Amino acid sequence: MPYEFIISKKVVIIGCLISTTCLLYFLFVNSLQHLNEYSPVRVEHYKRNYDEFIIADPRGSSKVKLNVSHAFITSIYYYPTSKSFGSNAVAFNMAIDQRSNQMRNHTFNVIGTNSSTSLFSTATSQAEGVGNCRYTTLMGRINTVENLEKLEIESNGVTVEVPFKMARYSAPKPVIICISPQFVAEQWQIFMMHVNAANRFGGHLHVYLTSIIESYFELMKVYEREGYLTLDYWLRMKLTSTESPYFDPNSNIEWRNQHEQRQIHSSIWMISYSLKLSDLSGGFMQFLLLSGNKLHFRGPVQASAHHSVKREKCCETRSRTIPRGFIIVNIPTLVHVQLPVEKNGKRKNKSRDMWKISFGKLKETIREDDIKAIEEDIYRIRNLSSTITLASNLPSSDFYLPIVFKCYYDAFYGPAFDHKPGGFGCPNADFCQLPQREDYKCIHSDAKYYSGPHMKPVTYHFTTDSFWSKNIGCYQ
């Protein structure tokens, strides 16, 4: 056989092998792209011992549709009577995957049972949240049997029993102020001004906590025992057992599921406390609404303290008028007090310098008798033996705030408002790395976590028996 023929035959065989390899590689890559055609993020699994099904999506941009939408139930309340919902109403709040299955006008089957009968109902729902996030807030509602004892969700013959709470029918104060969930909370000075000012004008704080410096937590407990506030758990979402893949809800939902907290205080609280919408206020621990010369807590607004305290001393006011440097927005007045000054009148925390905001001049004052009453109340709390014991352990400078602010700035505020590079999708900073400290430990919310049986189109996860833990650390 001619030498040239042997060479050409080898070339043909090698060429065929290369072509076949390239074709197989193309088909493989194309199948992956088809699986995740809208996302530049490769689908892979986190290396976590407790779950092999969690899918990594660091940018939160994956449009992959899974066979099952996973839902984490935040709360279920039962209302024997309600002017808004009717008799024997049940209200559901949950975070749910809206990309795997369509959640607009989503319905689900519910079975309510008492000692003598069961009632099968179809719950209607409303999804509210950011379209850029995989998980959205879903609120559902049904009317069921009286004297409800057992509640189940059913799908395709599979049921899961879910826990519920009785709604409240009395409020501790005329106005309830729901505070956005706090994590690695350390700014106790702002809290003290906020809680005492709220108490002066008939407000009661309902504070949701994920994690908080331990001494600060003990200070909040002092105020809770005095009747100024109610502490509540804001839990990290965990799916303890699944039979199908899912995306981490914590990193794929708007700002740690704060939207759901707003839904809870604007619906659950309004009904469970028998309040009008005008008797509710909510927001962050950095703002206070002023109207004329008195504090005003009406309307769904962001609220907080009205004047600063010296950083290194517990509970001393700076002046009889609102200090310089505080800012206002529109009318009625919104006063921003996020960064109290240090003892020398300066502030070491420069985190806000990266984001410049211009506001108008401050002209508001607070009535002398109100300032005096608030100040006397602060001194009373300060002189309690329990406060004296913990005061020296309170942090004297910000540690976590600059870290968290930069994470939020990099994740959203920089690209959105300062035209920083990187772009943004789902507003979320769950990637933020929070170092742990030896000198300041955190109290963290925790609970017993449960996952229901595998159900389609939605599998449900929930908690019971919430508690405060010292064993988790200072995390979101």
- Non-local CB neighbours of 12 within 8 Å, separated by 6+ positions: none
Q: What is the mean pLDDT of residues 11-18?
A: 40
Predicted pLDDT at 410: 84
DSSP 410: I
Same domain? 193 vs 288: yes
Least confident range from 76-90, 174-188, 347-361, 403-417: namely: 347-361
Residues 370-425 have pLDDT tens digits of: 888 988 999 999 999 999 999 999 998 889 988 988 888 888 878 877 778 766 67
Residue 356 placed within a domain: yes
> Which is it for the CA torsion 130, 211, 295, 228, positive or negative?
positive
Same domain? 225 vs 307: yes
Residue 476 placed within a domain: yes
211 close to 471: Cβ distance less than 8 angstroms? no
Q: What distance in Å separates the CA atoms of residue 471 and residue 187, rounded to the nearest whole number?
A: 22
DSSP 206: E
3-state secondary structure of 359: coil
Predicted pLDDT at 405: 86
Predicted pLDDT at 291: 36
Residue 42 placed within a domain: no
Phi, psi of 167 (to 5 degrees): -70, 150
Same domain? 207 vs 138: yes
Q: What distance in Å separates the CA atoms of residue 190 and residue 309, rounded to the nearest whole number?
A: 8
Amino acid in the structure at residue 134:
R
Q: What is the mean pLDDT of residues 65-87?
A: 93
pTM of the full structure: 0.75
Q: How many domains does the chain have?
A: 2
Cross-strand bridge partners of residue 150: 113
Residue 40 placed within a domain: no
Q: What distance in Å separates the CA atoms of residue 296 and residue 298, rounded to the nearest whole number?
A: 6
- Non-local CB neighbours of 2 within 8 Å, separated by 6+ positions: none
Residue 62 placed within a domain: yes
In terms of residue numbers, what domain contains 470? 49-476
Same domain? 25 vs 171: no
Residue 43 placed within a domain: no
| 89-97/135-143 β-pairing | antiparallel
Same domain? 144 vs 283: yes
* Farthest CA pair distance, the chain: 113
Return the higher-pLDDT residue of 342 and 240.
Answer: 240
Predicted pLDDT at 357: 56
Same domain? 220 vs 159: yes
Same domain? 129 vs 207: yes
Q: What is the mean pLDDT of residues 229-248?
A: 92
333 pLDDT more than 80: no
Predicted pLDDT at 209: 95
Q: What is the mean pLDDT of residues 201-227?
A: 94
- Non-local CB neighbours of 331 within 8 Å, separated by 6+ positions: none
Same domain? 26 vs 145: no
Residues 141-166 have pLDDT tens digits of: 999 999 999 999 999 999 999 999 99
Reported as a pLDDT band with limits 50, 70 and 90, residue 276 is very low
Q: What distance in Å separates the CA atoms of residue 269 and residue 168, rounded to the nearest whole number?
A: 8
Same domain? 25 vs 164: no
Predicted pLDDT at 417: 76
Residues 180-196 have pLDDT tens digits of: 889 999 989 888 888 99
Predicted pLDDT at 160: 97
Q: What is the mean pLDDT of the chain?
A: 74
Same domain? 200 vs 290: yes
Return the higher-pLDDT residue of 75 and 300.
Answer: 75
Residues 299-315 have pLDDT tens digits of: 222 333 322 222 333 33
Instruction: Report how far apart, in Å, the C-alpha atoms of 130 and of each of 15, 260, 399, 428 are.
Output: 51, 12, 30, 11
Same domain? 352 vs 206: yes
Amino acid in the structure at residue 351:
S
DSSP 92: E
Same domain? 27 vs 90: no
Residue 165 placed within a domain: yes
